Structure 1
Amino acid sequence: MKILNIGLYLLVSLSLLCSCSGADDSDNDMDSFISALMDEMTLEEKLGQMNLVTGGDIVTGYVMSNELEQLIRQNQIGGVFNVKGAEKILELQRIAVEETRHGIPLLVGADIIHGYETIFPIPLALSCSWDSVAVERMARISAIESAASGINWTYSPMVDICRDPRWGRIAEGNGEDPYLSSILGPAYVRGYQGKDMSGKDEIMSCVKHFALYGAVEAGRDYTTVDMSRQRMFNEYLPPYKAAIQSGAASVMNSFNLIDGVPAAANKWLMVDVLRDMWGFDGLLATDYGSISEMATLGYAPLTQASVKALEAGTDMDMVSSGYLNTLRESLENKNVSIGMIDRACRRVLEAKYRLGLFKDPYKYCDTTAATTKVFTAEHRRIARDIATETFVLLKNNNQTLPISPKGRIALVGPMADAGNNMCGMWSMTCTPSKHQSLKEAMEEELKDVAELIYAKGCNVYADETTEINANGIRQITRGNDDVMLRQAIAAASKADVIVAALGESAEMSGESASRADIELPDVQKRLLKAMVSTGKPVVLLLFTGRPLVLTWEDANVDAILNIWYGGSEAGAAICDVVFGHVSPSGKLTTTFPRSMGQVPIYYNHMNTSRPDSDPNVFNRYQSNYIDERNEPLYPFGFGLSYTTFAYGELRLDKTTLTEGESIKATINVTNTGDFKATEIVQLYTHDIYASLARPVKELKGFERITLNPGESRDVTFSITPDMLRFYNSKLEYVWEPGEFEVMVGPDSEHLSTCKFELK
């Protein structure tokens, strides 16, 4: 360590030694330390702390290694992202600590969205487990592996509510429901950050994208959002608030316009709501290049955009370098104040302090840790178990599933032997060569007991130019569709049952992967129709990062198991479920439409003034389509099991509710089948009359229960007035007296209903 830095580290050591009497003292020590440090910093050094750049290691960026090192030496970087490996990160941290005037350590970020090298199911799949314990465990393992590899900041969780499956980034979130996402978002935060980020395996989380990004028009990335503030507060903002108030130390704002203003410059949203109303005092960063992109949006060129973002409380500029290169001029022109710059710089430094980087700048730079903490047998076992919870059984005629491991089984489809495709989007830190494909896992499962006959069957799309290729990393090798179809038909002719592994390739969901047509791609549907025409039982294993239109598949295929993208252990987990070792228990967190014309479609919609009275016929002058039903193909909360569950009558212990009291709603659930299985019992409410129209139903509770064959259990929910609150026209969070419905059942459509009065 350079002699110039000794005073800095003596100061932080003294401040940490004094922080022994509680959080207030610790905050005072942090304030004293950072104030002393900032008193010694130049303007350029402060602006450098507010600059976040990509290292270009995981995803190609504009800063390469030599340039990056020089920028660090010149105090022009406060953080870097997309650098993989503790050795590389150690060298960057060493330069920051030992070759700069103040030795301020770096934040090192990455998109650790659903695992580091042990990859878990994508977040949309994880949400279908309805298991916050599993989500927290996933985030904990992700933090352990990331920290062992030098990373101290993850850009997760994404809690954007999305009701348009065309949007590729629906795969990154928790679905369409604000209540469920408000449960799962804090689970991510707890898993990443641990108790207080003091441990060497605890990293900083970043809640994104603030705000409303999941509601972009037409399901296209980077475009506008326009909605009432009542809708924001009641339907879209709750998951952000829950994750932030659970202790998330950082937030990333979104690309989209809100009220015509880019989110990163939206002072009402970033200051009035996030800072003042919700009390967030952590680090606020932009998304990739969003300050410079304000010019393209027609809002402001880079210099003015940087001023607007700083005014709105945005602390760190990702990639645009607007703060670094323009704020000195804006300060000289009195368009910003030094106080505004100091405020942003302070929050960057506070994040580093809370991570313990001033106490130990090499906290995350143990170059031996990854050998014992990354992609371990225990982590892989947990990933496999969690993956089985996320698969959703959509159809199972004549108990086609589970498959008996005997005879001849045909495995066809472009996803069947694509090990590098199992992890899905946002898994740049994975090592695909370590992952089994579905074919390899099935061969292992069926060894010596059954014959597996494999044929690829088709490409992802007939047209090569239609295939979306994420930097060439996961491209599935192409062949001749006609030849492959004949090979698949030949394989199927020898088999007792056909398993078709179809759907989206990994790069077809995620950022910049919106789809206008969300049916199965052309040649894949041709292959599936050929398999169905054999007359043999067909199981569709559906790989996808979004809801798809499956109307033909539902009408013609014997069984459909939606496996999303199950992660590095997906192959083994799929075998666990397909061959009956585990009964599927996942429930949908997004509505599956019958056709694209229904989109956006979601369960917790408002009623219409003329609701359709009979879905089986067209009713003129009622709210419907002349060429499609209103109902979805598969509703929110839906998911079958290998067993069956019988629900009894819903019972309330009383029918009047007053403040300070609760109503107990109880229902009996019985496993009436032959498999031990988990059921997710769901509670919904409906405010019948209110000062603002309320949704036809809203999820307000759920419970996962596991029952043996023949076992029954009472499931009881407590309903309190707080559960019935909403934001009224004045954005006051209130409950209103009146009549309510309470509904309990296995999904959002099949429900038992009772009424009660709130007085």
Structure 2
Amino acid sequence: MKQFKILSVCLLALPFFSCSDVKTDDGLETKVEELLARMTLQEKIGQMNQLSPGNADEVAALVKEGKVGSILNITDPEQVNKIQDIAVKESRLGIPILMSRDVIHGYKTIFPIPLGQAATFNPQVAEDGARIAAVEASADGIRWTFAPMIDISRDARWGRMAESCGEDPYLSAVMGVAMVRGFQGKSLCDPTSVAACAKHFVGYGAAEAGKDYNSTFIPERVLRNIYLPPFEAVAKAGCATFMTSFNDNDGIPSTGNDFILRTVLRDEWKYDGMVVTDWASATEMITHGFCSNRKDAAQRAVNAGVDMEMVSGSFMEHLEELVSEGKVSEATIDNAVRNILRLKFRLGLFNNPYVQTDQSVKYAEAHLAKAKEAAEQSAILLKNDNETLPFTGKVRTIAVVGPMADAPHDQLGTWCFDGEKEHTQTPLRALREMYGDRVQVIYEPGVAYSRDKRTSGIAAAVAAARRADAVVAFVGEEAILSGEAHSLADLNLRGAQPELITALAATGKPLVTVVMAGRPLTIGRQVEESSSVIYMFHPGTMGGPAIADLLFGKVVPSGKTPVTFPKMTGQIPIYYAHHHTGRAPSGHETLIDDIPLEAGQTSLGCTSFYMDAGFDPLFPFGYGLSYTTFVYNKLTLSATDLKADGTLTASVDVTNIGKRAGTEVVQLYVRDKVGSVTRPVKELKGFRRITLQPGETQTVSFTLPMSELAYWTRRMRKEVEPGEFTLWLGTNSDEGPSADFEITK
């Protein structure tokens, strides 16, 4: 029996590597102050202005006049160098331009969407993906990206869930920190490093009804306990920039919210990075009804704590006048510009603003290998009746059907501006190229694309299924159906896809359904009809080879659900870390079709559940099967009576009782049974991927400081309250042995 000790990650103590750290390098601050002292007010305001490129001559003129601090969306390195040449050699002060671009889950080599990366429960995957994206993007002169998105996402109707790390603050924090490390590398001044941007600050993922840009209503305690922790983690880890969110919370738009931008970010967290608005979110405060005009919007945004305005231009138009009127102090402007200049110095732009990186890094073999590994680990096995998977030698002919089997564009997923479908390796291509010598592949899509309502192709797909030993149906949603401004009220499979699955199931052939989507879909019926189900949040460039190796057992599934899967849309929002009501579920539920006629009004038990959906989700958070079986035994705690400053070690034996090697994600959950305010029924506090050979047992130990059980209490202080707790170590948020302990005064 092997023993492995796992130290719980203290997120707020992770190091920030840079070539010029303001906390230790007085020279950096001297350089910033010397340059700031030479700047006119107009030049300062120019640094606060971010442009989207328009007329080249107009942009060049503005750069020469010192009226631009950053430019979005230029991906031609020659054009980047021309603009930098103007900024450095022709503007009065020679301040370089910060080039930026949305590089979310890859630049050319596309990794799984962030929700898929979260499904790996492997921060190294997130770090590798961000590092590769930075290397490829910086080759075109991009030195600032708008990722990671660490909004807590508990409503799958919201399309931007795809861009998040899911519903859990701890998982989002760990993955977000890993992405920051990847983008920024060991030194920001390395020319292959890209400044990260934590977004959206804050609460955007709680948009009412899952409708993008919608209002949120998050009280301060919930904000601090749920939505702020991932942002605090990446701030302490050195994330170079923050972005304000589009939403208003309790009536105050984030771009004008001095509580989050000054009180929390600057005063409490001592953050010295730069804050940028989201696209035009400064002037959108007029539409919100929070500002009367563009001048008012500029005043409120800057006074709230915004440093740079993305594209809407109100700072350039009005800040000089606002300073002269005494409505914005020049000291406030100076602080904003300090943050911008500090970033440019940290990035090494003053030393080398030009693009010199080798263009051959794009689609490098090592990059493609990492993207395949990420896609493999992101795949979640939801069902596998009768060991349908992996395919054995008995399977000689496979029918490949469905609209996502050969959809090179849609496989890349949302928010993927620079990925090229010509480089995408689809499942159909991969199965033919990698396993065509072992099996005959018959391809009939059945449905042309995910929204296609035509059923005329289903008969040909059924005929192909009847000729095959097994059927693999690739269904889901196109890339355009998730992402920003792509909310849905209905999460069922679109078009004729449900009819396709039903028809294939009726053939009696083993049916493997592979879902590729940007969010959890309500696929309960398809799960019932299928022999095996694999879920892949849009897997990126190398999704095809990954799924091919998974189907044939060269790779064993290890992904876990980073969000709770609802049975039906009406259950949303649904998440594991909910609070109990005063009438919590008791285990008894009477569903609507089982209610007797003229039943008494209280005969159903008066507990909290849906009569048409019951208590539970379709799949809980942290759920995912393997081609083998893991058993948990002998949970032990190092102590059962601890002080608030103490440390607990929890251990459990995990045994692979199957015939195949496999990787399991061991998950640690804790419940604070009684608090000064009600507490979640479970909270994730740690996880670890382990690989076990058949018959092997490992003892997995987590070291948990009691300080990590602190929360914002009734007194609005972050503190560890004494009381009774339960700890679980298990395979998902619903299963696993438990033990109790107590924190005493």
* Aligned position for 1:738: 723
Q: How does 1:241-640 map to 2 (within 5 A)?
A: 241-300=232-291, 301-362=293-354, 365-366=355-356, 369-371=358-360, 373-404=361-392, 406-461=395-450, 481-617=454-590, 619-640=604-625
Q: How does 1:601-750 map to 2 (within 5 A)?
A: 601-617=574-590, 619-750=604-735
Verify the 8 A CA contact 2:452 2:496 in the aligned structure 1: no
Amino acid at match of 1:283: M
Deviation at 1:225, TM superposition (A): 0.8
**Cα distance per residue 1:463-492 (max 9 Å; x no partner):** 68xxxxxxxxxxxxxxxx233222212222
* Aligned position for 1:155: 146
Deviation at 1:433, TM superposition (A): 0.9
Deviation at 1:739, TM superposition (A): 1.0
Q: Distance in 2 between matches of 1:423 and 1:239?
A: 26
Query: Would you say 1:231 and 2:222 are equivalent positions?
Result: yes
Q: Distance in 2 between matches of 1:107 and 1:693?
A: 46
107-116 vs 609-618, which moves further:
609-618
Which secondary structure state, in structure 1, belongs to the residue aligned with residue 455 of structure 2?
Answer: helix
Deviation at 1:64, TM superposition (A): 4.1
Amino acid at match of 1:276: D
Which secondary structure state, in structure 1, belongs to the residue aligned with residue 288 of structure 2?
Answer: coil
Q: Distance in 2 between matches of 1:282 and 1:269?
A: 14
Deviation at 1:73, TM superposition (A): 2.5
Q: Distance in 2 between matches of 1:24 and 1:326?
A: 31
* Aligned position for 1:476: none
Amino acid at match of 1:570: G
309-318 vs 550-559, which moves further:
550-559
76-85 vs 481-490, which moves further:
481-490
**Cα distance per residue 1:669-698 (max 9 Å; x no partner):** 111111111001111111111111111111
Verify the 8 A CA contact 1:606 1:695 in the aligned structure 2: yes
**Cα distance per residue 1:265-287 (max 9 Å; x no partner):** 10011000011011111100000
Amino acid at match of 2:45: L
Q: Distance in 2 between matches of 1:21 and 1:506?
A: 38
Q: Distance in 2 between matches of 1:180 and 1:463?
A: 36
Verify the 8 A CA contact 1:113 1:427 in the aligned structure 2: yes
* Aligned position for 2:185: 194
Q: How does 1:10-89 map to 2 (within 5 A)?
A: 23=21, 27-55=25-53, 63-89=54-80
Amino acid at match of 2:327: N
Verify the 8 A CA contact 2:645 2:707 in the aligned structure 1: no
Amino acid at match of 2:563: T
Which secondary structure state, in structure 1, belongs to the residue aligned with residue 341 of structure 2?
Answer: helix
593-602 vs 345-354, which moves further:
345-354
Change (3 A) 1:69 1:244: same
* Aligned position for 1:478: none
Deviation at 1:617, TM superposition (A): 2.3
Verify the 8 A CA contact 1:655 1:757 in the aligned structure 2: yes
* Aligned position for 2:12: none
Deviation at 1:448, TM superposition (A): 2.3
Q: Distance in 2 between matches of 1:224 and 1:163?
A: 15
Verify the 8 A CA contact 1:460 1:523 in the aligned structure 2: no
Deviation at 1:22, TM superposition (A): 8.7
Which secondary structure state, in structure 1, belongs to the residue aligned with residue 504 of structure 2?
Answer: helix
**Cα distance per residue 1:224-264 (max 9 Å; x no partner):** 11111111111111001001110111101100002211101
Verify the 8 A CA contact 2:88 2:96 in the aligned structure 1: yes
Amino acid at match of 2:83: L
Which secondary structure state, in structure 1, belongs to the residue aligned with residue 231 of structure 2?
Answer: helix
Q: Distance in 1 between matches of 2:708 and 2:718?
A: 11
Deviation at 1:319, TM superposition (A): 0.9
Query: Would you say 1:203 and 2:194 are equivalent positions?
Result: yes
Query: Would you say 1:754 and 2:733 are equivalent positions?
Result: no
Q: Distance in 1 between matches of 2:625 and 2:451?
A: 33
Structure 2 gaps of 5+ residues are 1-17, 592-603
Greater RCO, CA 8 A, separation 6+ = 2
Q: Distance in 2 between matches of 1:205 and 1:344?
A: 18
Q: Distance in 1 between matches of 2:339 and 2:639?
A: 51
Q: Distance in 1 between matches of 2:533 and 2:216?
A: 34
Deviation at 1:361, TM superposition (A): 1.9
Change (3 A) 1:200 1:462: closer
Change (3 A) 1:425 1:25: closer
Verify the 8 A CA contact 2:403 2:450 in the aligned structure 1: no
Deviation at 1:180, TM superposition (A): 1.2
Aligned pair count?
713
Amino acid at match of 2:396: G
Which secondary structure state, in structure 2, belongs to the residue aligned with residue 692 of structure 1?
Answer: coil
Deviation at 1:334, TM superposition (A): 2.0
Amino acid at match of 2:120: S
Q: Distance in 2 between matches of 1:156 and 1:496?
A: 44
Deviation at 1:25, TM superposition (A): 8.5
Q: Distance in 2 between matches of 1:213 and 1:93?
A: 35
Q: TM-score, normalised by structure 1?
A: 0.92
**Cα distance per residue 1:141-199 (max 9 Å; x no partner):** 11111112211011111110010000011011111111111111111111111223121
Verify the 8 A CA contact 1:155 1:205 in the aligned structure 2: yes
**Cα distance per residue 1:13-66 (max 9 Å; x no partner):** xxxxxxx999568643223222222233222222111111223xxxxxxx2434
Amino acid at match of 2:272: D
Amino acid at match of 2:377: E
Amino acid at match of 2:443: Y
Q: Distance in 2 between matches of 1:249 and 1:487?
A: 54
Verify the 8 A CA contact 1:438 1:572 in the aligned structure 2: yes
Q: Distance in 1 between matches of 2:71 and 2:578?
A: 42
Deviation at 1:344, TM superposition (A): 1.4
Q: Distance in 2 between matches of 1:24 and 1:293?
A: 33
* Aligned position for 1:139: 130
Deviation at 1:734, TM superposition (A): 0.6
* Aligned position for 2:96: 105
Verify the 8 A CA contact 1:258 1:266 in the aligned structure 2: no
Q: Distance in 2 between matches of 1:23 and 1:96?
A: 25
Change (3 A) 1:284 1:39: same
Amino acid at match of 1:145: E
Q: Distance in 2 between matches of 1:69 and 1:730?
A: 55
Verify the 8 A CA contact 1:149 1:369 in the aligned structure 2: no
